[in-house]
Amino acid sequence: MYGFEALTFNIHSGYLEAIVRGHRSGLLTAADYNNLCQCETLDDIKMHLSATEYGPYLQNEPSPLHTTTIVEKCTLKLVDEYKHMLSQATEPLSTFLQYITYGHMIDNVVLIVTGTLHERDVHELLEKCHPLGMFDSIATLAVAQNMRELYRLVLVDTPLAPYFSECITSEDLDDMNIEIMRNTLYKAYLEDFYDFCQKLGGATAEIMSDLLAFEADRRAVNITINSIGTELTRDDRRKLYSNFGLLYPYGHEELAVCEDIDQVRGVMEKYPPYQTIFAKLSYGESQMLDKAFYEEEVKRLCLAFEQQFHYGVFFAYMRLREQEIRNLMWISECVAQNQKSRVHDSVVFIF
């Protein structure tokens, strides 16, 4: 039914699209960031944020603020908005919205498992989890000793269960294993999400495939860079790449054999969309790569709002808000630690 979404889209999703576009216009602008960057204390940040949509969430916080409180409250706002949208959504939008949270779910699982491996307190770990990725039995993750148990005990009830088919081993958990598990899960998740969007068809498929392909490619690059110099074999590395995206399949072959960052760069520069990202970096540098990728992502997410009648806006909005919260966290940290000169290092302006 490509091209005919406009006829029927608003019946079920028109209200929510309006809501999400309204939320988007509440995102902080460059002017806001400029003001925030000039703040001297966290109280200044609170004062400035009180004039924005974050106001009601921060107004009742007593004065000695901490960065964590700010981030927590800002996340709470996002979660509230998400829950409102989810409760209003009908199929297939509700499934789509749930897909957005699976990434956080994977991160939370990994966080808890790693934490228990290092014998941290479960409740302390739970507080650090992203509220969007919470599920009922998350705390029981601490009981599991290996992947098989992890799966059999807890995750079989969660939506993540199908993603586990690739990584059920009886090996005991260790850092390396967990990291591989995270990436395998993510790969499966991205592929599943991608298939789901393709099934939806229309503008949603078109826009989401672009956004997810970018996500997959970014992960491929990050996996490559992070696995340089580790004992991960080329074949194992190759297995962690998602089976779609601009780099698939030839780019993956080349990335799999990279041994240093400049080789990665060599591979990526063959792809025009990524050329611009790497052109900003000097040779041998990987620190600024994250920021460059984030900037590119934000640009693409903003473009998703240019088209109407598709679900991509929900994904884009959630991602943009998360980026905004990352920005706020960075700014608050810089202000709290008197490192104002570094404020601009990691802030990605959205508008």
Does position 153 interact with another protein (CB under 8 A)? The reply is: yes
Does position 60 interact with another protein (CB under 8 A)? The reply is: yes
Q: How far is CA 266 from CA 127, 142, 258, 293, in A?
A: 41, 42, 9, 17
Percent of residues in the chain assigned helix, strand, coil, to nearest 5: 70, 0, 30
Angstrom distance (rounded) from CA 246 to CA 251? 8
Which token pair is 25?
A: 């216009």
- Smallest distance from another protein to CB 153, Å: 5
User: Which amino acid, 207?
Assistant: I
Count how many residues are written for the chain. Answer: 351
Does position 161 interact with another protein (CB under 8 A)? The reply is: no
Number of other residues whose CB lies within 10 A of the CB of residue 247: 24
Q: Quick one: which segment of 148-156, 208-216, 289-297, 328-336 binds another protein (CB under 8 A)?
A: 148-156
- Smallest distance from another protein to CB 41, Å: 9
Token pair 């240019």 is at which residue? 306
> Which of 78, 142, 180, 316 contacts another protein by CB under 8 A?
142
Whichever of 62 and 229 has its CB closer to another protein, that residue is 62
> Which of 1, 2, 11, 62 contacts another protein by CB under 8 A?
62
Question: Which residues within the stretch 14-53 sit at the binding site for another protein (CB under 8 A)?
Answer: 35, 38-40, 43-44, 47-48, 50-51
- Smallest distance from another protein to CB 303, Å: 30
Of 350, 325, 313, 323, the C-alpha closest to 20 is 313
> Which of 21, 83, 128, 152 contacts another protein by CB under 8 A?
152
Whichever of 57 and 311 has its CB closer to another protein, that residue is 57
CA triplet 75, 187, 98: central angle to 5 degrees?
40
Does position 61 interact with another protein (CB under 8 A)? The reply is: yes
Q: How far is CA 106 from CA 103, 161, 213, in A?
A: 5, 11, 19
User: Could you say which DSSP state residue 64 is in?
Assistant: S
Does position 336 interact with another protein (CB under 8 A)? The reply is: no
- Smallest distance from another protein to CB 332, Å: 14
User: Could you say which DSSP state residue 172 is in?
Assistant: B
Does position 87 interact with another protein (CB under 8 A)? The reply is: no
Token pair 């990526």 is at which residue? 268
- Smallest distance from another protein to CB 29, Å: 13
- Smallest distance from another protein to CB 137, Å: 6
Burial of 127 (0-12, 13-18, 19+ CB in 10 A): exposed
Query: Contacts with another protein: how many residues (CB under 8 A)?
Result: 27
Question: Which residues within the stretch 297-316 sit at the binding site for another protein (CB under 8 A)?
Answer: none
Applying CB under 8 A, the residues found at the interface with another protein are 35, 38-40, 43-44, 47-48, 50-51, 59-63, 122, 136-137, 139-140, 142-143, 149, 152-154, 157
